[in-house]
Structure formats: C-alpha cells, structure tokens
C-alpha cells in the first residue's frame, strides 16, 4: 500500500511518541523526533529499540531511521505527516498545535494523539484547522491496532486512514467528536462497574480481572459487543436477541453501580492490585503484557483481517 509518506515528525517523544516512531520505522519511514525535556532523547532511543525488537517478531524488518532534536522547526522540516503527543492539557495542546500548524509544510497532515480532549477545542487557535485530526491510539500503538480518527475534512481523514492502514493499524472514524472518543468511553463504563464490584465486596480485584480476561475479553479480542450479541441471538441474530433478551439487558443496566473513588475504595483497589501483581514491577508487568499482545496479534492473523 503506497501513501507517499516517507518522513514523519514525532512531537513529544515519550512512550506514545516512541511507540509511533518505532511503528513508522518498521514500515520504512524516516522519523524526526522532537522533545525539549532533559534526557528525553536517551529514553526515546531505548524505548524505540525495545519496540523495534518486538515488531521484528511480527516479521517487520525495521528499515526507517530516526533523528532527534530539541528544535521544533527542525523536526517539522520535510515531514509529510506529524504525530503530536504533547501533554493531555487543553491549553498546552492548543498552543503546541498552533505552533506546529504555523511551521509544518502546508500539505502535511497534523494528527493529535489526545485521548480525551475534543478536536474543536484544541484546533481553535490554528490557521488551517482543517488539516488537523485527532488520531488517538491505544497504548502501546506499535502493538495495539486501534486508531480513533476525528476530523473535519473528508480528504484529510481519508489520507490519514490510508497512512495508518499502511502500518497495519485499524482506523475507526467518528461521525462527530465526543469526549473520550469511543474506546475510552467503553473502557470507562466497564471500569466503573469493576470498581462498583470491589466497593460492594462482590469479589477480589484479581477475581474481577480474571472474570473479564477469561470470559468476555476473549470474545472481544475477535468481535465487539454488538456482533457478540448478534451471535447470542442464535438464528434470530441481533433482532432476536433484542426482542427476547433486551428486557433482561435493561434490568442489568438498572442494577449497575455508580461508585465513588473515595479513600476506602481506593485503598481496596490498591491493595487488590498489589496482591494480583504478586510482587512484579511495572516494567515486568509491561513486558508480560507485550509478550501476550504479540501472541494475540499472531493468533488474530488467522481469523481477523
């Protein structure tokens, strides 16, 4: 798949930016990374190295190169696509995107990795907001295919989707902007109920996590909730499910909790997570997660496009 994009700029070279960079390099693109933070370059290079090794396991031979700079204009020079990964702060995003818009080549697409901010607010100070999209990944973006797209120009959105598809991503285009987009809203709804179950003493943190991973989580790795219930309706499909089991679904909705993250609940969650982690560090848990993601991605190739 040819997109015409051979050089991208990464603005904000933390974990998300480094993951994007590794993905681009694994698909033959050169990367110019910008971050003014002290020691950002060393952290960026280390993460990119680990991510590229993981992508090698998926058969992606990294051919792209990267440069690192603390000069924003230098990073943007010659970039055909810009992936912005600045702090999740409305004022900071607005200012950073305004600078990028002023410095980037006129034909370059600018994509913000924001997870919760709405596009209309963060592009408000830009001279050419139509070329700026939200492109929200799930962490880590070099392994998790989802990219949520919010834009105002159909051609820009189409070109951005082509860019991400060329890297093996699965872009999902929103019809209108929404705080938290799609996936974070779904995740927040599920986590609210997980916290409620802890607060009500229904089960331990580890058992609640296990219930998800060993049940619906397995199916959700292959198909979403609508398609899952379509199969749950048997020969009648989703129409049959909604007609016959819709009322029971509504009863369950009515019983869902609205917990507060007060001090007792926070203590219970922290203690429960510590028990579930079993002494493993964050780095060890991340390594275990990524090993599992790699295995899932290899397995999914057999059944999912």
Residue 28's nearest CA partner among 52, 12, 54 is: 52
Last residue of a domain, one of 173, 197, 214: 173
Dist. CA 305–CA 300, nearest whole Å = 8
Which CATH number is 57's domain given?
3.40.50.720
Instruction: Return the bridge partners of 33, or none.
Output: 10, 68
Are 56 and 130 part of one and the same domain?
Answer: yes
Question: What is the token pair recorded at 257?
Answer: 């909790």
pLDDT at 2 > cutoff 70: no
Q: Predicted confidence band at 303 (pLDDT cuts at 50, 70, 90)?
A: low
Cβ distance 274 to 204 under 8 Å?
no
Domain end call among 148, 173, 198? 173
Helix (H) or strand (E) holding 94: helix 90-103
Q: How confident is the model at residue 93 (pLDDT cuts 50, 70, 90)?
A: very high
Considering the chain, what is the average pLDDT of its residues?
A: 95
pLDDT at 97 over 80: yes
For position 206, what pLDDT does the model report? Answer: 98
pLDDT tens digits along 131-173? 999 999 999 999 999 999 999 999 999 999 999 999 999 999 9
With respect to residue 48, please indicate whether it lies within any of the assigned structural domains: yes
* 159 and 66 part of one domain: yes
pLDDT band at 4 (very low <50, low <70, confident <90, very high): confident
Give residue 237's Cα distance to chain centre. Answer: 31
SS3 305: coil
CA distance 80 to 115: 23
pTM, full prediction: 0.92
Q: Of the candidates 87, 84, 118, which has an alpha carbon nearest to the alpha carbon of residue 99?
A: 84
Number of domains in the chain: 2
Is position 1 within any domain? no
Q: Are residues 232 and 119 in the same domain?
A: no
Residue with tokens 């199969």: 231
Domain contains 45: yes
Q: Report how far Cα 37 is from the mean position of its chain's Cα atoms.
A: 23
In whole angstroms, give the CA distance from residue 109 to residue 233. Answer: 43
What is the average pLDDT across 118-125?
A: 97
Residue 89 shares a structural domain with residue 35: yes
Q: Give the number of other CB atoms < 10 A from CB of residue 183.
A: 16
| CATH number of the CATH domain containing 294 | 1.10.1040.10
Boundary (domain end) residue, out of 173, 197, 227: 173
Q: How far apart are CA 78 and CA 248, in angstroms?
A: 57
Q: Which domain holds residue 279?
A: 183-300
Q: Is residue 2 part of a domain?
A: no
């Amino acid at each position: 798949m040819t997109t015409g994009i051979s050089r991208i700029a990464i603005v904000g070279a933390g974990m998300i930016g480094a993951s994007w960079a590794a993905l681009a390099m694994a698909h033959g693109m050169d990367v110019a990374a910008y971050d003014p933070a002290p020691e950002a370059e060393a952290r960026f290079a280390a993460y990119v190295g680990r991510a590229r090794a993981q992508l090698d396991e998926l058969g992606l031979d990294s051919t792209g190169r990267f440069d690192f700079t603390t000069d924003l204009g230098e990073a943007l020079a010659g970039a055909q696509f810009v992936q912005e990964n600045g702090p999740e702060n409305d004022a900071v995003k607005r200012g950073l995107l305004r600078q990028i818009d002023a410095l980037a080549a006129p034909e370059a697409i600018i994509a913000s990795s924001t997870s919760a901010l709405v596009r209309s607010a963060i592009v408000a100070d830009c001279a050419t907001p139509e070329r700026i999209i939200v492109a929200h990944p799930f962490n880590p973006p070099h392994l998790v295919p989802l990219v949520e797209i919010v834009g105002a120009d159909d051609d820009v959105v189409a070109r951005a989707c082509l860019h991400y598809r060329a890297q093996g991503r699965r872009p999902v285009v929103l019809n209108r902007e929404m705080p938290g987009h799609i996936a974070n809203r779904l995740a927040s709804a599920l986590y609210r109920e997980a916290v409620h179950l802890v607060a009500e003493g229904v089960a331990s943190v580890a058992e609640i996590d296990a219930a998800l991973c060993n049940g619906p989580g397995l199916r959700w790795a292959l198909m979403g909730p609508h398609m899952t219930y379509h199969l749950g309706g048997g020969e009648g499909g989703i129409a049959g499910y909604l007609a016959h089991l819709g009322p029971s679904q509504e009863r369950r909705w009515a019983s869902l909790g609205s917990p507060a993250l007060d001090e007792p609940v926070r203590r219970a969650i922290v203690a429960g997570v510590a028990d579930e982690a079993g002494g493993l560090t964050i780095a060890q848990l991340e390594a275990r997660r990524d090993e599992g993601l790699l295995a899932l991605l290899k397995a999914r190739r057999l059944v999912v496009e």
